[in-house]
Amino acid sequence: MTDVVLFHHVQGLTDGVKAFAGQLAEGGHTVHTPDLFDGETPASLEEGMAFARSLDDDAVRERVDAALSGLPPELVFAGISFGVMEAQRLAQTRPGARGALLYEGCLPVTGEWAVGPWPDGVPVQIHGKDDDAIFAHEGDVDAAREIVAAVGSDHGELFLYPGDAHLFLDSSLPTYDAEATALAVQRSRALLDRVR
């Protein structure tokens, strides 16, 4: 069994995010879903982005720290879009990290926004739509390719799915793609099984 911490996207901890966590957990893993928005679930992507910008960084970090309190250090960190920022930061900096599942977002490991180099031996999977305006056309997919090239195919995988939808993993949103989600879950469970 692997412990996973899944950080939600900018529309909050929706029923769809919880359902996705449940699908990951069906593989015999424990998936924790901290609520970084304290119950807020903005109605649209745009409202969610505005809400996320209004949050104090320290308050978010305190919620993350509280969510990790009492959990073992050996965690896989996962994030959907907005949630990738915390998941990737923790996977790259927290001692004991077992892996990262980055959905619909990715930060660079070099340059201005970089957290730093990818840690040795920490596997990562990155999933996104190949024509998503945010993931594919704002630099995230380039950052993903950079990480995979740096860590090698033994530890890094990039999976692109056809389409332009953002937040395709969330069954409570109109952008949901059941077929792509099922494949992402299958691939994610494979990583979780490897780091058990």
**What is the chain's mean pLDDT, rounded?**
95
Per-residue pLDDT at 1: 85
Model confidence band, residue 68 (pLDDT cutoffs 50, 70, 90)? very high
Per-residue pLDDT at 183: 98
**Res. 14: pLDDT tops 80:** yes
Query: b vs e for 11-39, b when ≥16 Cβ sit within 10 Å of the residue's Cβ?
Result: bbbbebbbebbebbbebebebbbbebbee
First to last CA, the chain: 6
Which of 68-82, 105-119, 178-192 has the lowest average pLDDT?
105-119
Model confidence band, residue 57 (pLDDT cutoffs 50, 70, 90)? confident
- One-letter identity of residue 75: L
What pTM did the predictor assign? Answer: 0.97
Per-residue pLDDT at 89: 95
Q: What is the mean pLDDT of residues 46-60?
A: 92
Per-residue pLDDT at 196: 83
Domain count, the chain: 1
**Res. 25: pLDDT tops 80:** yes
- One-letter identity of residue 129: K
Boundaries of domain holding 68: 3-194
Spatial contact of 143 and 106, defined as CB atoms under 8 Å apart:
yes
Residue 32 is part of a domain; what is its CATH number? 3.40.50.1820
Considering only CA atoms, which of 155, 150, 162 is closest in space to residue 191?
A: 155
Q: What is the mean pLDDT of residues 83-89?
A: 96
pLDDT digits (tens, 9 = 90+) for 111-133: 877 888 999 999 999 999 999 99
Per-residue pLDDT at 111: 81
Per-residue pLDDT at 158: 98
Per-residue pLDDT at 24: 97
Give percent of the chain above pLDDT 90: 89
Per-residue pLDDT at 59: 86
